[in-house]
Amino acid sequence: MLTATRDQVIDDVVAALSQVRGVCAVALGGSRSLGTASPQSDYDMAVFQEKAGDIDVPALEAALERLSGSRPKMTAKLALAEFELGGRKVELFFRRLNLIAEEIEAARNGQFRRWPHALHAAGYLSTVLISYVTYGRIVWDPQGHLVRLIERAHPYPVELQKRMIQTFKVESALSVMHAAKVRSPDELPYVAGLYSRAVAAWTLMLFAANRRYPIIDKGATKIIMTLPHRPENYAARTVKLIRDLGAGNLQQVRVDAARIHKEITGDTLEI
């Protein structure tokens, strides 16, 4: 039975996907699940299979083509599918429940993995896999797969909290201290990278301090501003940091970055 969503785009996508062998759950993600969307926002939806290779790809392509009236764009390894429906862009992200379950168990032991990624200053974190279910809005989960994963993921593990704060406290301190050594405006591109990494690390620490799984894409700061443990005016202050950097006001950036770091970590940096 389909979950009532009161959104025709979502209902139509779920109706199509629910008929494809191997698709076992669907969740709405992105800005529409976080409450930051505008009426013109894209639809980001996570499509879950139990393990790799479960989804009948030809049946999926046929279902999406019937739904949208055109052949969808799909990656070769079934990571992403894109199409338009009702004048809105729809992106489907395919995720494996077995990997999410493994990541939840690792998180309960205070473990996470990370690797470089072109879109993320602090790298891509494996715990983001858990965020696909904890922040998503379930729109179809007939066997309760997502419900069980969400229950297993909570409460947020204390050991993961310690590891995240320890890791990104060191990284943010190094970024801020090394950026503070630069005095020449000619080095702005280098300094910008360091401060971007510091902001990313602060944000990850704040998610951990509030015992929330992290979001590393856009929208993360808006969530931080709803949480109890954060510096006052954190969003405005980090925006100001980048604007002052672009204006070449390195001294002000050094001072402000050190203050933000101290408010988050309690550590005073020598700048």
Amino acid at 239: V
Supply the pLDDT for residue 35: 78
Percent of the chain with pLDDT over 90: 85
The pLDDT of residue 136 is above 50: yes
The pLDDT of residue 2 is above 70: no
**pTM of this structure:** 0.92
> What confidence tier does 37 reach under pLDDT thresholds 50, 70, 90?
confident
The pLDDT of residue 153 is above 60: yes
Supply the pLDDT for residue 105: 98
Inter-CA distances, 194 with 3, 12, 176, 188, 220, Å? 45, 44, 7, 10, 19
Per-residue three-class SS string for 34-90: HCCCCCCCCEEEEEEECCCCCCCHHHHHHHHHHHHCCCCEECCCCCEEEEEECCEEE
Query: Rounded mean pLDDT of the chain?
Result: 93
Q: Is 81 left (phi over 0), alpha (psi -120 to 50) or beta?
A: beta
Do 245 and 194 meet the contact criterion of CB atoms below 8 Å apart? no
pLDDT one-digit tens code per residue, 185-221: 889 999 999 999 999 999 999 999 999 999 998 889 9
- The count of other CB atoms within 10 Å of the CB of residue 163 is 17
Percent of the chain with pLDDT over 70: 98
* Buried/exposed code over 249-268 (b: 16+ C-beta within 10 A; e: otherwise): bbeebbebbbebbeebbeee
